[in-house]
Homo-oligomer: A and B are copies of this chain.
Amino acid sequence: MTPEVRERLDTFIKLKGLRNTPQRDAIVDVIFSSDEHFTADDLWEKLRGTDARSSRATLYRTLSLLTEAGLLQEIDLGDDQTTYDPNFLDKPAHNHLVCVDCGKVIEFEDGHLEVLNDCITRRLGFRPVKQSLRIEACCEELRTNGRCLNLIQARLEGKRFPVKKR
Contacts and interface: CB of A to CB of B under 8 A. Distances in A.
Interface of A: 76, 78, 97, 99-100, 106, 108, 110, 112-113, 116-117, 120-121, 124-141, 143
A121 B135 contact: yes
* Chain A binding surface SS class: strand
A126 B99 contact: yes
Contacts of A124: 97, 106, 108, 137
A120 B135 CA distance: 10
A110 B137 CA distance: 19
A163 to B, nearest CB: 14
Contacts of A137: 121, 124, 126-129
Contacts of A120: 97, 108, 110, 113, 135
Contacts of A106: 124
A117 B34 CA distance: 28
Nearest to A129: B136
A117 B100 CA distance: 16
A146 to B, nearest CB: 15
Contact of A130 (B117, B135, B140): B135
A108 B120 CA distance: 9
